[in-house]
Amino acid sequence: MNMKIKKISLFALAFFTFLGTFSFSLANKLEVHKRPSFLYQGGVMLLEIKSPQYIKIKDVYFGKRTIPLKRERRRVLALLSAGLFEKPGTRDIKIHYSYKGKRHIFKKRIVVKKKSYPKEYLKVPKKMASFPPDILKRVLDDQKAVKEACNRITKKIFWKGGFIWPLKKVTITSPFGLRRYFNGEPRSPHSGIDLRARENTPIYSPNFGKVVLLRDCYLSGKTIVIDHGGGLFTLFAHLKKTFVKKGQEIKKGQIVALSGATGRITGPHLHYGISLLGKRVDPVAFMKLMARD
């Protein structure tokens, strides 16, 4: 009796060891590359997955979120992001793939690191530190409209190849993540970057996409949001004139507007923002990563 149980146990052990080895050997067929090697608060990462034709990449999860995939002939691309207030630590990426109709999971660990952004303390008249009720309502309505536009995630991917800057000459005048304090009270961190641009400077679309928002906002003035697919959006603010319509498909390098000084600003410039899966990310880091892909 004991001998029989022992034989069954040895068989079960050998069987499950074989399954584990088989699963591991399949996972070894996946080439998973990440750029950069870690995420930081407000950062972005490009995940590149290569596999043989007999292994099909089904889904990619980062935490509880499904990541939209850009499928190319020999690889699958996924963009990951961390918000400015993302808690530092480790996260798991789960790659679901199939082999002969059976589903398997491959995990890869990602580190999210803390990043310090600059702070600026200003003393301003009391009337400049707060809005009257009617203006506050308009500001909140504008913010809601922009947020809703950037949260409508489409599965279709419009962007192709590398991204280009929206200006021919790039000079940053205000960085991403800058936290201003008015009379000691904190304001929201800068959700994009400000680029030097004289009035009437042409603004170019960084990649293929579709216009999902055209709005004259109280703070950001004439504003355009372009959907590049898969939860990736670019935003352009303080524009003097726009040349596109809502719902219009846009080509990479197409002139979409002229820079200006609309909204609540002191002089002409371009505010350039990038939203990925509902989180604002550093446009400089994004452009460094995606300009070469």
Has this prediction a pTM greater than 0.75?
yes
Give a three-class secondary structure readout of 123-150.
CCCHHHHCCCHHHHHHHHHHHHHHHHHH
pLDDT at 53: 84
Strand ranges of the sheet holding 119-122, from the earlier edge strand across to the other edge: 119-122, 179-182, 185-186
Amino acid present at 36? P
Pairing of strands 185-186, 209-217: unpaired
Domain boundaries, the chain: 2-113, 119-290
pLDDT at 129: 67
CATH 2.102.10.10 for domain 119-290, yes or no, is no
pLDDT at 9: 52
pLDDT at 63: 84
Strand ranges of the sheet holding 69-71, from the earlier edge strand across to the other edge: 31-35, 44-50, 76-81, 69-71
Out of 2.40.30.70, 3.40.50.300, 2.60.40.10, 3.20.20.70, which CATH number does the structure's domain 2-113 have?
2.60.40.10
Task: State the Cα–Cα distance between residues 198 and 204, nearest whole angstrom.
Answer: 15
Please list the ranges in the chain whose pLDDT falls under 50: 1, 3-8, 10-24
Token duo for residue 270: 């371009």
pLDDT at 13: 41
